[in-house]
Amino acid sequence: MTCTAAGNYIPPSAGEREALLRELGLNSAEDLFINIPKRCRVGELKLPKPLSEPELRRALEALAAENETPLFIGGGLYDHYVPAAVDALCSLPEFVTAYTPYQPEISQGTLTSIFEFQTGICRLTGLDAANASMYDAATAAAEAMLMAAVHTKRKTVRVTAATHPHIKETLRTYARFNGLSVAEIPFDGRGQTAADAMAGEDACVIAQSPNYFGVIEPMRAIAAKASETGAVPVAVCDPLSLAILESPGAMGFDIAVGECQPLGSPISFGGPHAGYFAANENFLRRMPGRIVGETGEVNGGRRGFILTLQAREQHIRREKATSNICSNAALAALRATVYLALLGPEGLREVAETTAQKAAYMRGRLEEAGVNPLFDAPYFREFAVDSILTGALPLERGSLIAVTEKRTRAEIDAFCGRGRSR
C-alpha cells in the first residue's frame, strides 16, 4: 500500500498495514478485493492532486472570497444575529460527531436537546406534537401533504399561490409520484390569499404566512374555510415570527411546518438548516421522522429520553412506514434549541419587534424615495416594491426587500438614498 495525504486520517502506517495483511495471510491489499469482477475494475480516479491542509485552506479561502454577502435579500432565509454561544455549543464534538441516538444510555445529550426542540416548537406553534426535525420547510410541507392525503383519502391538494416558489415546486414533485395534484389559490391586490377562492374536497390547504411577499395572510379565515370542507389546514410559518404573531394552533391549523434557519443558523448558501414539523395530537402516530419521548429506567428510578413511536418508521415498517426519513437535521435543530434557550421569550420578542420596526422604517424611506410597496396588507420583515432595485430579490414586477434586526439605520439609509437604480 502506498502512503499519501490520506495519512492524516488513516492512522496505520504503511508498515502497520503490511503487518495486518501478513496476519491475514495476504500479500497485498489487492487480495482483499478478489470478489470484485475484473470487468468492473477502474483505474486510479482522475481527481485533482491531493492537497495539504495549508493548501486546502488557501484554495477554500479563495473560493469563499469570490462570494459577496447581500444585505437585503431574504426569500425564506434571513440574516439574523447568531450569538457566539450558539456557535460554541453547537461545535462541541460530542454533539457534532455522534449519530442518531440509537443507544440512549450514551446519547442523553442529543436526546434531551431534541426533546427541548420538540417542546420549543410546540410552544411556538401552539400545537401538541413536534418531531425531531425535517430537512427543510419545503420537504416538511411535502410530508404534511402526504400525511394529509393518507388521512383524508383525497387526491387534490391546494396551496396558496403566494407560498415560496421552492416550496410549491417541491410539493409538485412529491405530488406527481404519489398520484396527487396540486392547485393554487390566488392572492388578491393586497397580496393576500382570497379564502373565498378555495374549492372543496381537498386533502389539505397549505398556506404560508408571512407569505413569499412578506404579507401576513388571513390565517384564521383560511384555516376555517379548509376545515369546513374537510381539508387538513397546514400552515407554513417562520418560527421567529411566532414570537409576536399568533400561533397556527390558536388560529385553527392542524399542522404547522417551517424553516428553522432564522433561529440561530447562518444563511450558508441555503443549507444545511432544519425544518420543523408540528401537528395536533391525532396525527401523532402518523407523523414522519424521529420523535423523542420521556421515560424511566427499566430497573431504576432515573428519568431519561429515548427515540419513541418507532413503529411508524422505515427501519421497522419498511414499505409501510409513514415516511422514509431517518437522518434529519439534528445539529441544525440544536442551533435553534440553543438559540431559543439563550434568547428566551423576551429576547425573541425583541428580535422580532426590532426586525418589524426596521422593515417599517425602510419601507417608509423607500416610499420617500419614490419606491412604492406593491401591497398594503400587514407584513413582518419583508415587503415587495414596484421597482427593480439592485441588491434586492427580483420579482416578476418589482423587488422583494428583507430587513432584519441586524441592519443598521445607516445601512438602510445608504440603500434607500440610492433611489431607483433604473
* 295 lines the binding site for another protein (CB under 8 A): yes
Q: How many CB atoms lie within 10 A of CB 367?
A: 13
* 384 lines the binding site for another protein (CB under 8 A): no
Window 165 to 194, contacts with another protein (CB under 8 A): 166-167, 169-170, 172-174, 176-179
Place of cell 401523532: 284
**What is the phi-psi region of residue 398: left when phi exceeds 0, alpha when psi lies from -120 to 50, beta otherwise?**
left
* 414 lines the binding site for another protein (CB under 8 A): no
The distance of closest approach from Cβ of residue 266 to another protein in the complex, given in angstroms and rounded to an integer, is 4
Which of 189, 270, 370, 419 is the binder for another protein (CB under 8 A)?
A: 270
Q: Specify the amino acid at residue 63.
A: L
Which of 152, 155, 350, 395 is the binder for another protein (CB under 8 A)?
A: 350
Count of residues in the chain: 422
Which is nearer to another protein, 61 or 196 (by Cβ)? Answer: 61
Which is nearer to another protein, 116 or 254 (by Cβ)? Answer: 116
**Which among 69-77, 148-156, 197-205, 228-236 is the span making contact with another protein, rule CB under 8 A?**
69-77
Window 25 to 64, contacts with another protein (CB under 8 A): 29, 32-33, 35-37, 39-42, 44-51, 53, 56-57, 59-64
The string over 164-173, giving b where at least 16 C-beta atoms fall within 10 Å of a residue's C-beta and e elsewhere, is: beebbebbee
What is the C-alpha to C-alpha distance for residues 197 and 205, in angstroms, rounded to an integer? 12
Window 194 to 213, contacts with another protein (CB under 8 A): none
Which of 320, 396, 417, 422 is the binder for another protein (CB under 8 A)?
A: 320
How many Cα atoms are found within 13 Å in the side-chain-facing hemisphere of 243?
22
Using alpha carbons only, how large is the chain's radius of gyration in Å? 25
Which is nearer to another protein, 197 or 341 (by Cβ)? Answer: 341
Torsion angle of alpha carbons 308, 314, 316, 319, nearest 10°?
140
Window 240 to 269, contacts with another protein (CB under 8 A): 242-247, 250, 259, 266-269
3 state DSSP class of 396: coil
The distance of closest approach from Cβ of residue 185 to another protein in the complex, given in angstroms and rounded to an integer, is 19
The distance of closest approach from Cβ of residue 158 to another protein in the complex, given in angstroms and rounded to an integer, is 18
> Cα 192–194–195 angle (5° rounding)?
120
